[in-house]
Amino acid sequence: MGREQKKLSVANQMLIAMAAGIIVGIIMMLLKSFLINGGNEKIWSMIDWLLFADITAPGNATSIGLFYIIKTLFIAGLQFGIVPLVLTSISLSLCSLTDTAKLGRIAGKCLAGFLGFYVFGALIAVAASIVAIKTGFFSQTIAVSGTAEAVVEYSVANPLAILIKAVPANLFVVLTNNRSIVAVIFIAVVLGLCMNFMRDELQIVRTLVEDLSKITNKYLDFIVNKCGPVCIFCMLVYTFPVFGMEQITPLLHYMLVTFICLIFYLFIMYPLLVSAYCKVNPLKFLKKTFKVAMWAFATNSSAATFPLTRKTSVTELGCSEEVADFVLPMGMTINMNGTTIEHIIAVAFIATVAGYEVTPLAYLTIMLLAIGSSAGTPAVPNAGTVMLYATMTGAGFNSDVCILLYTLLLTLNKPIDMTVVSLNVVGDAATACVVSASENSLNRQLFES
């Protein structure tokens, strides 16, 4: 209980930091406008010199740029963990599938259920992002020097070239390049499958990967949970006066579209899909999983919600313990439907605002990468947002403006990330119901009670 309270406290700290950052950021933005329009540019120049100046830009050799430094270090710190996070998470997820030897039939249905929910979520996200793009809701409003050239280069290239880049010629070059994420995923898949098939022969390798995973998660836990509140506050305060509302408004559009999709899938699609397959009342599923969703939203962690998810699945939804004890831990590891929805809409938004055309083949690439990276996302707070970088760069959207938009998105994505976790844990319960029904072990009387 103390551990759960600690995580809840971290979530509250993030929300407080976000609210305070927005308030102070808007105040600084209005102050900038007031001082400049009032002829007091020198006063603002001093504030900018102290807090916001890009200390790497020409002419800023003596600037302090406190918030700029914190923002840059935080983003670099997150990117530092991208490659080891992708490598260890996906490989260990595939390696853990050795449990299918014990529950072969259930495992197959479990994975099929996860995949089915992934596909439904991905299709909803693609449809929503296409509508947002066609209606101009994702407008092109941000320009960065050099972006146009990158867009032209990508638009004339054959999107299938990404398949060639998936198999690296040099292992070590790939593992030292954040923009070769597709190749990193390939290496993780190969490593995970080899550890799966050669389990007894690769104990040392598996232990090494597990230890690297622990180090990576501990590091990201420190960056996100310990440094996160302060860094998010500084990034938000930095964002408003530097970019202005005209640059931030598109992010609010992304958040609205994503939030609508997540809520639609959580409160409508999950109950309807479970009802259609299990022949049960969808309102009962919605009512009984609501507290699970709220607890996941508050703790922002599927791992912290696991005990409640299991109890609800077994004692209220009527899932068999055998199925629940296999599906729920597996789901906590690889079933991240909400993360997939978030990634697809976010990448489509970033690409569109950056000036790229998101073609049908590009959408297919984004879907595959989103599902792959989501399945490898560990059950820790904010990991999905960190893994978004892998999906974005893996799909080829890695220009300066894309990195800028990713940075801005990190500052405002906390409510979306919390909603994503709710969707993920309810998806685990939904899959447990579907698999139990397929095994004729779903207690429908208990479900309907």
Q: Which residues of 109-147 are buried (b: 16+ CB within 10 A; e: fewer)?
A: bbbebbeebbebbbebbbebbeebbeeebbeeebebeeb
Q: How far apart are CA 233 and CA 332, in angstroms?
A: 30
What one-letter code names the amino acid at 349?
A: F
Q: How far apart are CA 375 and CA 384, in angstroms?
A: 10
In this prediction, residue 47 carries a pLDDT of 92
Asked if the structure places residue 440 within a domain, the reply is yes
Asked if the structure places residue 117 within a domain, the reply is yes
3-class DSSP state of 102? coil
Q: Taking residues 244-270, report their average pLDDT.
A: 87
Q: How far apart are CA 106 and CA 323, in angstroms?
A: 7
The dihedral through the CA atoms of 112, 368, 363, 259 has a sign that is positive
Asked if the structure places residue 35 within a domain, the reply is no
- 106 or 317: which carries more pLDDT confidence? 317
Q: Taking residues 225-243, report their average pLDDT.
A: 83
pLDDT tens per residue across span 64-113:
999 999 988 887 887 788 788 778 877 886 776 655 454 567 778 888 88
Asked if the structure places residue 70 within a domain, the reply is yes
Asked if the structure places residue 21 within a domain, the reply is no
Nearest to 137 by CA among 145, 129, 126: 129
Q: How far apart are CA 373 and CA 391, in angstroms?
A: 7
Q: How far apart are CA 260 and CA 119, in angstroms?
A: 18
Nearest to 108 by CA among 314, 301, 326: 326
- 306 or 440: which carries more pLDDT confidence? 440
pLDDT tens per residue across span 272-300:
999 999 998 999 999 999 888 888 886 66
In this prediction, residue 341 carries a pLDDT of 93
Nearest to 166 by CA among 402, 394, 397, 399: 394
Asked if 346 and 258 count as a contact pair (C-beta separation under 8 A), the reply is yes
Q: Taking residues 199-206, report their average pLDDT.
A: 83
In this prediction, residue 157 carries a pLDDT of 43
Distances (CA, A) of 410 to 228, 414, 426: 10, 8, 24
Nearest to 192 by CA among 334, 39, 298, 319: 334
Structure tokens at 74: 């935080």
Nearest to 92 by CA among 244, 212, 228: 212
In this prediction, residue 362 carries a pLDDT of 85
In this prediction, residue 147 carries a pLDDT of 39
Structure tokens at 139: 């407008």
In this prediction, residue 183 carries a pLDDT of 80
Provide the CB-side half-sphere exposure for 156 (13 A, CA).
5
Structure pTM?
0.70
CATH number at residue 371: 1.10.3860.10
- 195 or 246: which carries more pLDDT confidence? 195
H or E, element range at 294: helix 282-299
Counting residues of the chain whose pLDDT is more than 90, the rounded percentage is 19
Structural domain including 208 reads: 64-446
Asked if the structure places residue 11 within a domain, the reply is no
Highest mean pLDDT among 1-5, 77-81, 342-346: 342-346
Tell the residue number behind the tokens 């940075």, with chain if given: 407
Asked if the structure places residue 10 within a domain, the reply is no
3-state secondary structure labels for all residues of 118-166: HHHHHHHHHHHHHHHHHCCCCCCCCCCCCHHHHHHHHHHCCCCHHHHHC
Please count the structural domains in the chain. 1
**Residue 357: exposure state from Cβ atoms within 10 A (0-12, 13-18, ≥19):** exposed
Asked if the structure places residue 15 within a domain, the reply is no
In this prediction, residue 272 carries a pLDDT of 94
Backbone angles phi, psi at 209, to 5 degrees: -65, -40
Contacts of 288 (CB under 8 A, 6+ apart): 312, 316, 317
Nearest to 406 by CA among 194, 212, 239: 239
